[in-house]
Structure formats: C-alpha cells, structure tokens
Amino acid sequence: MIPGPFTYHRPASVADAIKLLADLGDEARPLAGGHSLIPMMKLRLATPDHLVDLHGIGGLKSIGRDAGTGGDRVVIGAMATQHDLLASEVIASSLPILQETALLIADPQVRYRGTLGGNVANGDPGNDMPALMLTLGADYRLEGPDGSRTVAARDFYQGAYFTALEPGEILTEVSVPVPPAGHGYAYEKLKRKIGDYATAAAAVVLTMSGGRVATCSIGLTNLSETPLLAEDAAATVIGTSLDAATLQKAADAARAIMEPAGDGRGPVEYRKHVGGIMVMRALQRAASLAA
C-alpha cells in the first residue's frame, strides 16, 4: 500500500519545527529517519495530515563532548544517524558500546537513514538503543512550546509507544555520561535474521577491581512493553568474580522482571530463557574487556 495524502513541511530550525507542530496539533507528526513512521503510514496504521521533516535542521546532527560538564558527557543530536555513530571518533573513544549496538541494528541501508533520536523517541520496545540508554544513564533533552526540559531515559518510557513526550514536543539531543576508563561493555542480541528486531537482547556496562565486579548496569531489549533496567540482576554480581553460580543468579534475577509477548519470535518462556542467556553472555564478555 501507499500512504494517504499529507502535507510536507521542512523547517530550518528547532523553533520552526516546534511552532509547526503546535500550530498543526494532533494531525502533524515529526519525521526523523522514518523507519517506524513510514511503514505505519503505508499500512494506514498512521494517517497524519502533516509531516514535519527534521532533516533540514543541521544542528541536530552534532556529536561531541560537552565542555560545560568538563567533557565527562557526550552529547548527540537527535538527527545523528546510526552511520554517524559508527563513523564518529568521539563515540569510538568514549562510548564504544554505541557502535557495537548500532552495528546490530537492521542493515547498512537502514543505518544510513535511521537516527538515534528516532530510535529512542518513539517508544518501540523492539528498538535497541533505549535499553542501552537506560544502561548508560542517559538523559534526553525535550523541546516544545513551553520551553525545554531534561528527562532521564529511565523515566521516559511508560508503555509500548507511550513516552514522556508531551504534545508538540520533540526530542532534540541525547546526553550520555562517559563511562570510566577501562570499563567493560557488551550488547548481546539474539535475532532470527539480519535486520530483525531482537528476540531478546541485553546490554552490560561494568568495571572490575581486583578481579571482581565493582560497578554494573544491565539493560534489556524487547522483553517487556518498555526497555528494562535490571537493577537486581546488576546488584547480584557486585563484588563477585562472575563465577557460574553468580551468572545464573543474575540471569534468574533478570528473568524475574521480563514480561515478553509470545509472538513469531517464540513463546513467552522461550524468550525469557534466551533473555537470561543474553544477560550471562553480555556479563562475561564485558568482564573480559574490562581493564
């Protein structure tokens, strides 16, 4: 099918985009990479009368260290693509797990067009970056008719396709704390084929001291209506050498918060089972990379 009729707008600034969205109301939708919105329009599951294309706003593609925080955060414009992340020296040196995750998203054609902002903003539980943003402790900058505000990624996701974005607001940048030097990281993703959403995936960022886990954060993808932060699972491994029994306890703690849907990727129990395996694999690989 083809989309229904709509009017196309291409604002040159964030302020222009916000004004358009405010003036046009519920009949307008912002357009980032389009990999979620356009297929829904083709199926007539979304029928906006107006599309507000954000690609003309050059400032939304920047990637860099935030000098205002002493450089201990990386700020990424919402329109930076997955390919931009893969090509960025700042990301490679500061947040290599972003590049590892980006390489597991769909295929090169999608990564050239798909944006970080679109991936994290639309609340699709199958998207890979939201759980990673929870794991990293990221913040989102939201701008709308009433000004700008910052929302932590862990407070942003409220249900499938339901987020903290208010009417007329757009997500303009993602701010991520830089993990300490020598940290270990891994994003383990099980999927049926190239380009598919995860059957289950887990992100881990940790530090080691004296052969034991000093700090740890674990995020889960496509194992509930929202991305999950597996705090109990992470707490389980603190102070351990990640022996087999500890890994199993962490997997069990992660499974306790999983609520996946049974679908073409497998029944509920299978998806929870492999979700735990992804947690164990990510923990082991992250520890192997930690200095």
pLDDT for position 38: 83
pLDDT for position 82: 96
pLDDT for position 248: 98
pLDDT for position 78: 97
Domains of the chain, start order: 7-56 (3.30.43.10), 58-177 (3.30.465.10), 184-289 (3.30.390.50)
Q: DSSP alpha helices (H): ranges in the chain?
A: 14-24, 37-42, 82-87, 89-94, 96-102, 108-113, 116-121, 129-136, 153-156, 231-237, 244-255, 268-289
Least confident of 36-45, 55-64, 76-85, 239-248: 36-45
Q: What angle do CA 266, 109, 222 make, to 5 degrees?
A: 25
pLDDT for position 71: 78
The 10s digit of each residue's pLDDT in 124-157 is 999 999 999 999 999 999 999 999 999 999 999 9
pLDDT for position 201: 98
d(CA 227, CA 230): 10
The answer to whether residue 1 scores a pLDDT higher than 80 is no
What value does the mean pLDDT of the chain take?
95
pLDDT for position 36: 81
pTM: 0.94
DSSP annotation of 115: B
